[in-house]
Amino acid sequence: MPAILFAIAVGCLYQSRYQSRSCPRGRRPPTAPEPPHCPWARPLLFHPLADLGMMAAFSTRLALPLPAAWHRRPLGAALWAWPLAGAGLGALAAAAWAVAHTAWGAPAVAALVALAVLVAVGGALHEDGLADSLDGLAGGTAAERLALMRDSRVGSFGVLGLVLTLRLRWQALAALTPASVPGAVIGVAALSGAPVVAAMALVASARPEGRAADAGRPPGWAAMGAAAAALAVAGPLLGPGAAAVAAFAAAAAVALVVRAAVRRVGGVTGDLLGAAQQAAELAGLIALVARGP
């Protein structure tokens, strides 16, 4: 985590110095065109605060007042910050767990409260993708499967999948020792995003439109940055051994989902990437429970 914070500070310092030296706004009439070398005319390759803000707004229902210039940055380049946004969401859930555990002292109730915060603040974005993916992959041809995923109605496969995965996530959180739950919630929330970014970088979108296509394929450095950010968060919270086990389980789960996506529809979609994140989070929690304290 200190390394991530140091990188963000250096990036922000570089941003401010580069703007002030290259393009002094005060010397140019308001109607003059932006010089092509100015950072606000051409988005910087690496803008830590903008990327983190974009991913927090994208992956949660928090109404964040982001500057208009940040929205012009390509989403694919900001995906390195997905694990950090996930860690922030996990921190909110961990705080809710701590309050519930202190108030009632029941691990199952506290775990349910933490899970409810994850779903509510996250806007059930990935849960919705999981339900649509399960309904869609049960279709006949690839075109029918993609059409089913776009259907806003939830079928029997989607309902059963949501019930089972939510129950498993709840029971996994309740099965952990109380001392390990906050770190597990935050660490797994960070680890579940990194392999999804890698999948987006390696696998093409199954259709030319949709969330996956709009985000584009992130550059290789974004995928590596996501992995580094996830491990920087999970390592100190879970310990090196537990973090490695959870990371391997999350990556394996994403690989299985992506393999099924390529075989069934020829690529990935936003729904399938949401399903992959859910699979990664569930696999990471189960791995921590199986590993034990």
- pLDDT digit string, tens, across residues 85-121: 999 999 999 999 999 999 998 999 999 999 999 999 9
pLDDT for the residue 5: 40
Tokens representing 211?
């969330």
Bridge partners of 139, per DSSP, are none
pLDDT for the residue 35: 39
**Three-state SS for 268?**
strand
Tokens representing 222?
């974004």
Give the CA angle between residues 235, 236, 241 to the nearest 5°: 45
d(CA 277, CA 269): 12
pLDDT for the residue 277: 96
For the segment 214-234, what is each residue's pLDDT rounded down to a tens digit? Answer: 666 788 888 999 999 999 999
pLDDT for the residue 215: 67
pLDDT for the residue 58: 80
pLDDT for the residue 3: 44
pLDDT for the residue 84: 93
d(CA 181, CA 188): 10
Please report how many Cα atoms fall inside a 13 Å half-sphere around the Cα of residue 228, on the Cβ side.
12
Tokens representing 273?
């990437």
The low-confidence residues of the chain, meaning pLDDT below 50, are 1-44
pLDDT for the residue 242: 96
pLDDT for the residue 147: 86
Judge whether 72 and 79 are in contact, CB under 8 Å. Answer: no
Bridge partners of 205, per DSSP, are 268
pLDDT for the residue 8: 40
247: nearest Cα among 184, 180, 173:
184
d(CA 136, CA 140): 9
d(CA 164, CA 170): 10
For the segment 176-196, what is each residue's pLDDT rounded down to a tens digit? Answer: 999 999 999 999 999 999 999
d(CA 19, CA 155): 52
DSSP 69: G
Judge whether 102 and 123 are in contact, CB under 8 Å. Answer: no
